[in-house]
Every structure is written in C-alpha cells, then in structure tokens.
Chains A and B, each alone.
Chain A
Amino acid sequence: MSWYRHKVERDLAHWQTAGWVSEAGAGAIRADLLSRRSPFGVAPIFAMLGAILFGCAVMSFVAAHWTGMSKLARLTLLLVALWGCYAAAFALFRRGLAGFAQAAVLAGIAIFGASIMLIAQMYHMEGNPPDAVLTWALGALLTTVLVRSPAALAATFVLGVVWSSYERTLAGAAHWEFLPLWGATTIVAGWLGWRPGLHLAAISLVLWLVPLGFFLFDHHAHWIVAALGALAALGAAVAGPAIDRRMRGSAALFAYAIILAFAGLYLLAFVDESRFYRAPDTSWTPQLVLLAVLTLALLLAAMLWALMSGNRGALWLAYGGFALEVFSIYVKTFGTLLDTSLFFLVAALVVSALAWTAYRLHRRAPAAEASA
C-alpha cells in the first residue's frame, strides 16, 4: 500500500497549497492511511519465506537421515514439526503478532505436504501422484476455513492449480474436477473478505483456462478460450456499474478477461499454429492475417475502453499484449520483409486513425461535461 500513500502524500501537499484541503483534513487523511496498514508488511513476508524454507529443511533432513532413523522416529519427527508449527501459530497470535502467526500456519501446511510425500516415499506408495497434491490442497483449505488464514488461502489456490495441471498432464484430457475445488476456495475467499484472495481466484482460473483449448474437440480449440475471454470482457464493460454496486471489481474482471482473450488468440496464431502451414516455406497465411487483425482489434478496443473507464491495469496489459503481438508477427514473418512492412504500414495507419478519433473524443468530453 505504500505506493498509494506516497501518491496521496504528494497530492495532499498540492491540494493543501491550493487551499482545497484544510490542515485538519489533511491530518485526518494521513491518520486514516496509517491505520489502513496491510497485515502483510515486510517482516511477515520474510517470515513467510522463512516458513517455506523451514518446510524444505525438514523435508530434506528427514530424507537425508534415511538409514540413521527408524520409520517410527521419522514419523514422530514429522508430527512434532506439524504440531509445533500450529502451537507456534497460537503463541504468536496471542502475542498479537498476526503476520508471524500466518507464517507459522503456512509452515504447518508446508510440513503437512512434506509429510504426505515422505510417508509415500517411506512406504513406496505410488498410486496416483496427483491425489497426494489434492490431499495437501484439501488440508490447506480446511486450515483456511478454520483459522481464517489468508496465507492458507493462497496456498490452497496454488496447490489447486498444481493438482489440476498434474492430473491434466497425466491424463492428457481436460480436468473438470478442478472447478468444484476452485469454486469452494473462491467462496471461502469471498467469505474471508480478503481482496488479494479474489485476485488469486481469478489468476488460478485464468491459468486453468488458458491451456484448456489443447484438451477440447480437435485439441486446437483455443478459440473457445478467446471467445470466453471476449465475452467476459464485454460483460465486465457493459455490466460494470451493476457489478461494482455489489462489489467493486469490474475493472479487475475486465483486465483478467482481456488476458484470457489475448492468450487464446495468441495460442492460435503463434503457439499451436503448425497446421496453418502446409508447405515449409510458407510463413504468411490468410489465417495468420485474420488472427493478427482480430487480436490487434481486441487490444485496441480494450485500450479504448480502459482509457474511457480509467482502468490503468487493463491499459498496461493491453499495451504489453500489443507489443508482444507485434513482436511475434515480426518474428513469424521474418524473411518476407516486404509483406511485413506492408502489414506494419496498414497497422500504423489504423492505429493513427484510432489515435485521432480518441483525441477528438477526448476533446469533446470536457466540453460536454461543462455544458451539462
């Protein structure tokens, strides 16, 4: 949150000299900002990293002292470490060190996972390895619900994505079982009221959706991903005010939807594109042109909407996507320079025309506001 405080601090100074904000008002705003400190300061974040490293240390210690310890001793050590973490979490919570308590909870979850892996190793269990990750994720979800821990929530999302990717890789098929776990975790995130948790929900869903096209229909169905993203973006733009009345979030939804739509189109055009090229020397096909035009149109529309709705995140994402798209087109069509230059010329003309339109719109807007 500190970047925000810095910005407000700068603006406050300006507003105060202009006489719009009184001395008392500025003081009250500063006090409010200070009271809204995030629970995740620098110290707790280091503590979290420490917790993860602690989990790794326990895992390799037990794995290394294979011969020197009986199975019973190894199991006892794992359970002592597990209970120790949760006891430490309680002690830290009682002393009012919530951030450190979160780190201890995270360490407990890490040791739970390490124990699953080590017990599987000790007893030569193989079964279906993703099941172990699912068990770990469910343990993390239980911790999230009972302890109301944001750190455990983040762990649940990460483990859910790992589980689903693992299962999908092994089966080579879409893994719909991810959705119930994701839904449950997202409901818990909403119930906790921890905003970054909802971002994690969106990010894990995007991570799950992007490769989905590889596993549907003809295994090249990325258009579904692109269409889903475009629809969601449209929904976020049209129903934005309605969404924001319930819960401020249409701007973020729009940004994630644009990522999804762009990812689908990008996969079609540059990653999973081999079937476009029948002869090895053809590098420029009508499909690629169509996809490039569609992608650039989507990104330009996203930029325009982001500018109009003041969505800075989406604006930067669209800029980034635009740069990536143009660069990829350049790499793909390298060798047929004449075509490339023609494409860039057309693109430049289109973008310039849009810039002019945007400029005209921008000039008219304040005038309309003034007359209203």
Chain B
Amino acid sequence: MIGAPTRVLLSLAIVALVQTAVLAYMVIDRMRLIASGREITLPVVPVDPRDLFRGEYARLGYDVGSVPLRLLEGPRPRANAAFWVTLDKMPDGNWRAVKVTSERPREPASPDRIVLKARSSYAWPHDSPPETAVRVRYGIESYFVPEGQGRKLEALAREKKLATLLAVDGNGNAAIKGILVDGVLQYEEPLF
C-alpha cells in the first residue's frame, strides 16, 4: 500500500471492477444456459433413501450417474478431467447413456440424442470387466432448497416420483431448471 492516493484509488477500483465482472460472468453464463439451453427431464434416484434432503441441501442421483465401462470409446479420460456422455432417448421416454468419449462428439443435434459434460473422481479402470460401473458427475447432483423446505421435499420424495428439469447447452453443460414431483413442476428456478 504505497503510492499516491489517486493510484491507490485507481487500483482498488480496478480490483473491485474485475471481481464484480467475474461474479457477473458467473451469473450471466448461468442465465444464458437456463434461458436458452435444451430442456430434458431426468428421473431422480435417491442416493441415500433414508435422508435424501438433509436440511437445505439435497444430493440427487440419476440412472445415468453410473455408466458401464464398455461404453468408453477412444482414450480413457484423466482423473477429474471433463469428458462427454452421449444419452439416447428410449422408446419409454427415459434417457440412457450410450457412449463415453474424452472429446466432445461432433454429431448433428437430434431430438433423441443429447450430450452431457461429465467428470469422474477416479481414473478409469484399465483391466476391469466391461460391465464395471463407473460413477460420473454432471454438475447437477446437488440442489439447494429454501431453508425449512428440505423436510417437505423429503416427505414428498418418499412416496412420489421426483425428476429434475435440466437445461443443456451445446457444450454439454447442464443446469437444474426445476424439480418435478409426479411429473408436475414444483420448484422452478427464478433467474433473479
């Protein structure tokens, strides 16, 4: 903190501006994704059936959250590095993982196919049987609910079917847009 007051003022202003810009970028990027991303619905599989909503924070599991090793095409992704999972829409309306690649697949978009960006905490096993399940995260596994609402959702989850409404952009980034209970949108995320 040496220098003339004008210089200090200028420096502090630049710091505040840059930090504000970073925060604004985070928000705008997310809004863009939620507003213009493609919508899909994924059924929620409880991770811990006894305690799905621990207070204000829920962990959401999905069928596509574990993929068999045989789906991997090409080089194995490095531990904690991003890779892409291609999902196909089945005749029953559910999405199923059909392919895992280290690079983003460059295929024309189709209504029955979508690509999600994913990460896995562990290195992909080398010599395991092809049916070995690998746990993957899409960044849509946690949902923060308003304080006091957790218990209500938990009770709902016990007897009804939960699903998340997602927005997915062209790079495979996914964002939770809302939560559906028995097919009805119950929690919708306001942009502001």
Contact A90 B119, beta carbon cutoff 8 Å: no
Q: How many residues does chain B have at the interface if contact means C-beta atoms less than 8 Å apart? A: 48
Residue of B18, B27, B142, B149 near A75 (CB, 8 A) is: B27
Chain A interfacial residues counted at CB < 8 A: 48
Does A121 have its Cβ within 8 Å of any Cβ on chain B? yes
Q: Is the CB of A83 within 8 A of B16?
A: yes
Q: Mark A121-132, 1 if CB is under 8 A from B, else 0.
A: 111111110000
Which residue of chain B is the closest to A123 with respect to CB atoms?
B30
Q: Mark B1-43, 1 if CB is under 8 A from A, else 0.
A: 1110100110111111011101100110010001000000000
Contact B15 A142 (CB under 8 A): yes
CB contact list, A52-102 vs B, under 8 A: 64, 66-67, 70-72, 75, 78-79, 82-83, 86-87, 89-90, 93-94, 98, 101-102
Assuming the contacts A78-B23, A119-B27, asked whether A146 and B15 have C-beta atoms less than 8 A apart, the reply is yes
Q: Are B192 and A124 in contact (CB under 8 A)?
A: no
Q: What CA separation (Å) do A172 and B81 show in the bound complex? A: 11
Q: Is the CB of B80 within 8 A of A90?
A: no
The A interface is mostly helix, strand or loop, or mixed, namely: helix
- Report yes or no: A123 in contact with B142, Cβ–Cβ below 8 A: no
A125 close to B1 (CB less than 8 A) = no
Contacts of B82 in A (CB 8 A): 128
CB < 8 Å neighbour of B15 from A93, A121, A143: A143
Name A171's contact: one of B8, B13, B22, B79 (CB within 8 Å).
B79
Q: Within 8 Å CB of B11, what residues of A?
A: 146-148
| Given contact pairs A90-B8, A148-B1, A148-B2, A70 touches B175 in the complex (Cβ within 8 A) | no
Flag A144-178 by CB within 8 Å of B: 1 or 0 each: 00111100000000000000000100111100000
Q: Which residues in B have some Cβ–Cβ distance to A below 8 Å?
A: 1-3, 5, 8-9, 11-16, 18-20, 22-23, 26-27, 30, 34, 56, 78-82, 119, 121-123, 137, 139-144, 146-149, 175-176, 189-192
15 contacts between A and B (CB under 8 A): A66-B144, A67-B149, A79-B23, A86-B12, A86-B13, A98-B1, A101-B1, A123-B34, A124-B189, A125-B26, A125-B30, A126-B142, A147-B1, A148-B3, A173-B80
Query: What 7 A-B pairs come out closest when comparing CB atoms?
Result: A171-B80, A126-B139, A146-B11, A67-B146, A171-B79, A123-B30, A72-B192
